[in-house]
Structure 1
Amino acid sequence: MTTAAPPLTRQRTETSAARAAQVWKVYGAGEAQVVALRGVDVELERGRFTAIMGPSGSGKSTLMHCLAGLDSVSRGQVFVGDTEVTGLNDAGLTRLRREKIGFIFQQFNLLPTLTAQENILLPLAIAGRKPDQDWFKTVIDTVGLGDRLGHRPNQLSGGQQQRVACARALVSRPEVVFADEPTGNLDSRSGAEVLGFLRRSVTEYGQTIVMVTHDAVAASYADRVIFLADGQIVAELTGPTPERVLDTLKSLDRPAPLETEL
């Protein structure tokens, strides 16, 4: 027998789209144990574009997956808006992701048998919701897909497919959109188109974007860049430029100076 999801736990977080409080993530045990996140505290503000960066193995993707409810935490708390993610059962997590979160992945994840329009509206169809036609038109106009809605994914370029994926993430007007290397499979021109759309969705429509990327140019589209190393937040930039991002990344590769106790 199927049981209904319990009420979502509420926590007052007026300015936060998502928040992590003393979050640890540990995989394995004993000699095979890997600590991916070490007591991370971070608040991601509504209506801002935040990029998460760091060396390979720094924990950036793990942090995003924990914030999005795609992975559980070993210790600590995660909130999306005023909903506590930690402790939700599978039904609660499904509802949270359906109602409050949008996702954009490197691999597009479009269904090949559906048209662009059907792919965009799929999350709403699954949730049994009708689209807001005015918002749907705004999203389609912004991504420039008006003449491609009847095309299937194999009839679209990589950049167009990713723009379909972006539109799909935004059409339900989620609390926050998590983007995992959204330009990783695109050429520079297509990548710039997708990043420009994400930037406009924040500036013009107040959307919240959290993007994991290794690309300094992509990160420069953000309002804020958070840098991780060894599972901890070690630096932050606001108003980033590609040059400042690269300089910060280079500094993470340098050994820290020895500290002397006084």
Structure 2
Amino acid sequence: MSAHLPPPGPHTAEPAARATALTKVYGKGEARVTALDGVDVEFARGRFTAVMGPSGSGKSTLMHCMAGLDPATSGTTHIGGTELSSLSENRLTTLRRDKVGFVFQGFNLMPTLTALENITLPLRLAGRRPEPAWLEAVIATVGLAGRLEHRPAELSGGQQQRVAVARALISRPEIVFADEPTGNLDSRSGAEILGFLRDSVRELGRTVVMVTHDPAAASYADRVVFLADGRLVDELHEPTADSVLARMLAFETPSHTS
């Protein structure tokens, strides 16, 4: 971390993101599927939260609705103090660009741009220049100093995902949403990416929400929230891989009701 940067500030009362009675329904009639069913959840600033649940539990839908990628059927979602359903499409696009960072399973890099150009692309699209101290801190956090002039085809999968993490952080977003960010990586590269996400929280003061199915990945988080059948059913603080796995197995037993 650069010596030019102030330390992260204290956690504030207002969460980085929150949802109230969040409901998302797809289809109609017999094809109607309730993906989210009245979810209330908050994501505190300066914390790393993992979202877990069985397949079809609604975890990716929750992330997409809270990030403004998919409109809610009912209920409200906020990024900071801004309620998303009140925004026009143009203002919502601007909010996603300036206030939200994204890391996906697929790296989504521009193949003709260098690593550095990919990292700073969100700022260039917004007509802004990177702050040198922040850029230095982000690059140091994800360990990319020696790869900045390489294009994606010249980088390993783990290195490409490091670029994607740095790109998500560069605009100092209110919150970073990561959807299965280690899904395309081997275990060693995946552990590195999870470490970088954790460092971005602890050293750079960011807020990260990660959807994952992997108990080992969830153990990097400060808190895990569990979904089942579109509802928030449990949460776990200071998780370990074993404690997360035990909760997941409990949801899959016939005696579990949500």
Name the CA distance, whole Å, in 2 between partners of 1:114 and 1:257. Answer: 49
Contact 1:24 1:74 in 2 (8 A): yes
Mapped pair 1:150 → 2:145: no
Quote the Cα distance in structure 2 between the aligned partners of 1:142 and 1:20: 30
Counterparts of 1:205 and 1:134 in 2: how far apart (Å)? 12
Aligned partner of 2:243 in structure 1 is 244
| Consecutive unaligned residues in structure 1, runs of 5 or more | 1-12
Is the 8 Å Cα contact of residues 250 and 256 (structure 2) preserved in structure 1?
no
Q: Find out whether 1:17 has 2:42 as its counterpart.
A: no
CA distance in 1, matches of 2:204, 2:152: 27
Task: Please give the alpha-carbon distance, in whole angstroms, between the structure 1 residues aligned to 2:77 and 2:156.
Answer: 37
Aligned CA RMSD, in angstroms, stands at 1.1
Q: 1:171 aligns to what?
A: 170
Aligned residues of 1:14 and 1:82 also touching (Cα < 8 A): no
Alpha-carbon shift at residue 220 of structure 1 (Å):
0.2
Q: Could you tell me whether the CA contact under 8 Å between 2:24 and 2:74 is conserved in 1?
A: yes
TM-score normalised by the chain length of structure 1: 0.92
Alpha-carbon shift at residue 257 of structure 1 (Å): 6.3
Higher Rg of the two aligned structures: 1
1:143 CA drift (Å): 1.0
Instruction: State the shift of 1:98 in Å.
Output: 1.0
SS of equivalent to 1:226: strand
Q: Counterparts of 1:203 and 1:196 in 2: how far apart (Å)?
A: 10
Residue 222, structure 1, aligned to residue 235, structure 2: no
| Mapped contact 1:14–1:81 kept (Cα < 8 A) | no
Distance 2:94 2:254 in 1: 44
% identity of equivalent residues: 65
Q: Give the count of matched residue pairs.
A: 246
SS at match of 1:139: helix
- Any gaps of 5 or more consecutive residues in structure 2? 1-11
Q: Distance in 1 between matches of 2:207 and 2:122?
A: 18
> 2:59 & 2:85 partners in 1: Cα distance?
19
Give the conservation status (yes or no) of the 8 Å contact 1:220–1:241.
yes
- Superposition pairs of residues 1-262 of structure 1, within 5 angstroms: 14-256=13-255
Q: 2:138 touches 2:170 (CA, 8 Å); kept in 1?
A: yes
CA offset at residue 203 of structure 1?
0.9
